[in-house]
Every structure is written in structure tokens, then in C-alpha cells.
Amino acid sequence: MTRLGDSVARTRDLLVQDLSSDKTVEQLLTETKARRYLDLSDLSAKEQAELIASRTVEVLPAVAKLAERIEERRAEGRGLHIKLGIDPTATDVHLGHAVPLIILSRFQRLGHDVTLIIGDFTARIGDPSGRTAERPPLTDEDIAANLAGYREQVRPFFDFEKVSFRQNSEWLAPYTFPELLGLLTQVPVSTLLQRDDFRNRLASGAGLTMTEMLYPIAQGLDSVALNCDVELGGADQLLNLQMGRRLMELKGLQPQLVVTMPLIEGTDGSGAKMSKSKGNYVGLTATADDVFGKIMSVPDRLMEPYLKAWTEWTDEEVALALSRIEEKSLHPMDLKKVLAGEVVAALYGVEAAMAARAGFVAQFSKKAFAEVESLPSVDTAEHGTETVAAVLTKVLEFTQSASAARRLAKQNGLRLVVEADGGQRTFVLDEAAATRPLAESVGQTLAGAGLSVSAGTVYLKAGRKIAELRGLAGA
């Protein structure tokens, strides 16, 4: 049996046990955390290709072709040469950015060589994927600072000591205009305009610059320069990745295989992909408790894609856990606690994951919020004239922006809770209420229910985050 097979067998034994048990969960997290560093080189070429394909959107031209390429390189006494381009445009990295690094880590542990392309040259253009406007260019200082932050934040998911770094300015900066013109004669404009985002922007009357049109060409030239076997990228990068195949063929090289990865949905359950601008992300610099809490706040339907994106579980293990939920032998909340523990364990270790689990249980198993120690609070005498959305964003920092607070209200995730005599009454605050002053929204909501502000202790609940409202007039 392979090393992965041994680990799966041990994990399967744990997954059929009581997953509400701290002891069982700790054993499970210890096993799966260790799997992140497991040597996978004893898997056959077919098993390797299937393992990679199980976590991707597409392997082009086919999974069987990936297995064949692995066999070819093994016969030559070496592994595949894998490349991934890093766009150094952000300082804050979230779990969505970790997805390709996890796949890349598996390639490393399967015995293959990895090169990370630092897009210092293309960052001056800005990848237009999914954008409605051109990105502003970055300076060399911006790129260096962002790259340093990126490496530090994603380090828990990837071994940077076993990777080659290349900057695409090495081959793109010296590229001459005659060379570029000669290449462009072989690339139809219709190929570039296959991109949905390009077509949508043109249809809406928005601008589209020539530099953006040339971005796929620039990324394709990266593939030519490195002559790699496989390139990874998000599903929205498919045209760029295929351009690499096309340019390699034009240069007489064996075209790379393309592996596309899913764009992970954000924590708010709205269907939008995880992004900082939407406030629906889990930052890699967040505390263990905050990471755990954010994962616990996601809709149950996201457990399967999240388990596949950020854990080392196999399809068989994911299916086993989900089947137990269908059979009602496992509560969804218990599986979600395991998922949250997996993410925290990846970032901070199993001990931190178990501590975050204990903290979450201690807070949310209480029958009354009054029993919870150290809840944040808002003085309505001081902040009552500010909108609910502003209080959530600027005072409590429960949401990333006022628009994120309004989205939360629109999804019925914003509530007032009145606690008195050991009981609770809950009232949903709609999107309109989120835009009104805090004191006004609270007063109107309680008055509509026939309650006064002195009816009990009043709490503001945003998702799973709770704050006590103090200083209400008449309280």
C-alpha cells in the first residue's frame, strides 16, 4: 500500500467515529495535518494524475495525457517541470490565494519541479482577468513589498525552499518590437476576443487597452521561455494558459499541459468568489479564533468545496463524511467544526486549532449571551447617530465595509437579540435598517415588537459575531 493509502485508511477509521469528540477530532487533525508534508512519490503516474485532477476544474488536453507526460519524464530520470505565475499586486492574501499553492505543493511531493514566475514585468500591465477596468501599474518597490508579504502569508501551504523563482522581465524586457510584430502576425485578434470579460467590456462601451490585449501574449511567452510541462492557473485564466500552448507550438516546443483550478466562493454564501473587495474572505493573517469563526459562519453547502479546496482529504474521505450527514449519523455543525479546525491547523498547528475549537464551543454553547465573557460592546450614547453599517465596519470591525454590512442584512444575517429572564427574542434587521442610525433602528425595531429599550439586554448580531448595545436611551 502507498503512504497515502496508509494515511487514508487511518483517517477513514476516525471519520466513522464520534466527530463531536475533542479526542477524535484532535487525532483526525493530527493525521491530516501530517499529510500536508507526506511524500507522495510512490504513487503511480495514473494515480498522480488522478490525484491532481480531483482538485481541478480541467486538465487539458486530458488527464490521461498528464499521466503519459509523467511516465515520459520518469523514463528520462526526472519529474515534470511545473510553473505558476504570481501576480504581485496584493499585500493582503486570503484563503482563495492558497488554492493553487496547495495543488503546487502536491506536485512537489509527487516528485516534480516547480518554478514560480514573478510577474514583475506583466504587473506593469496588470492582468485584466475578471476586471471591468485596467489595473493601475505597480512600481518595482510595490512589487518587492507585495511579494515579500505574499510569500510570508502563504508559507504554511507551500515549501518555498524547494522551488525556483524567475522574473518574467528576464525575457520580456529585452523582447524587441520586430520580434513582437512577427509573433502577432500568427495570433488572430479573434482568439484574444474569446475572453468573456473582454467581450462584456466592449459590449458595455467600457475601454479596452492594447496592453490588456497583449497580456495573454506576455503570459504565453513565459511558457516559451521556461519550456515547462504543466502550467497552473485559475479557471478564469484559461485563455492565457492556452495561449502558452499555442506559442510553444509556434516555437516548435512540446506544448504544456494546462491545469485550471476552481475559483472559491466567498464566506457570505452569495455565490461571488472570495475577494477582499466583497469582504467575504478569510485572511491568512487573521487570528486562529477569527479564522475558526469565519469558517463556522459559512452555509452548510460550502463545506464540500471548502473541504476539497483547503484540506488534504481525498474524494473518498469527503464522500464518507457527507454520507454520514445524509444518514443523520453526523451533525453538519460537527463536520463544520472539523473543517474550521483543518484550516486553523494548516495555518497555526493542531494545538491552536483545538484551542480555537474550545473557544468557539465555550462562546456559542452558552444558553445566554450574558454568560459569555468579554463580548465586545457599543456605547449607543456615543455611536447611536452613526448608521448600523458604519458601526459594524468602523467601531466593531465586524464587516470590511458598509456595503458588506448591507449585503449581510440582505441575506438576513443581521439581527437584534433581546435577552431577559433567561430567554431570547430575535429580530431581523433588513437592508434599510442597516443604513439608518443605530439608535433609530434599534428603537423602531423594538417599538414595532411592542418592546421598550429597557425590556432586557440588547445585542447586535452580525453573522456569528455579537456585541452588546449599551447606553440605550431609557435603558
**288-368 is classed CATH 1.10.240.10:** yes
229 or 91, higher pLDDT:
229
What was the pLDDT predicted at 249?
Answer: 93
Cβ neighbours of 277 (radius 10 Å): 11
Task: For 57-261, give the CATH class.
Answer: alpha beta
What was the pLDDT predicted at 133?
Answer: 47
Give the pTM: 0.76
C-alpha cell at 21: 469528540
Span 10-49, pLDDT tens digits: 999 999 999 999 999 999 999 999 999 999 999 999 999 9
**377-470 is classed CATH 2.120.10:** no
Using left for φ > 0, alpha for ψ between -120 and 50, and beta otherwise, residue 381 falls in: alpha
CA angle (241, 243, 247) in 5-degree steps: 125
Could you tell me where in the chain the CATH 1.10.240.10 domains are found?
Answer: 288-368
The answer to whether 1 and 317 have CB atoms below 8 angstroms apart is no
210 or 49, higher pLDDT:
49
Average pLDDT in the 312-337 region?
Answer: 94
Q: Is the peptide bond before 216 cis (omega within 30 degrees of 0)?
A: no
Q: Coil, strand, or helix at residue 208?
A: coil
Average pLDDT in the 451-463 region?
Answer: 82
Return the DSSP state at 209.
Answer: -
On the question of pLDDT at 322 being above 60, the answer is yes
Could you tell me where in the chain the CATH 3.40.50.620 domains are found?
Answer: 57-261
d(CA 118, CA 161): 16
Could you tell me where in the chain the CATH 3.10.290 domains are found?
Answer: 377-470
pLDDT tier at 378 (50, 70, 90 boundaries)?
A: confident
d(CA 404, CA 111): 43
Its sign, for the CA torsion 161, 285, 315, 116, is negative
pLDDT tier at 127 (50, 70, 90 boundaries)?
A: low
- Tell me the one-letter amino acid at 241: L
User: Which is nearest to 266 in space by CA: 255, 282, 288?
Assistant: 282
pLDDT tier at 288 (50, 70, 90 boundaries)?
A: very high
d(CA 245, CA 255): 5
The answer to whether 271 and 280 have CB atoms below 8 angstroms apart is no
On the question of pLDDT at 208 being above 80, the answer is no
What was the pLDDT predicted at 191?
Answer: 79
Question: What mean pLDDT value characterizes the chain?
Answer: 86
72 or 427, higher pLDDT:
72
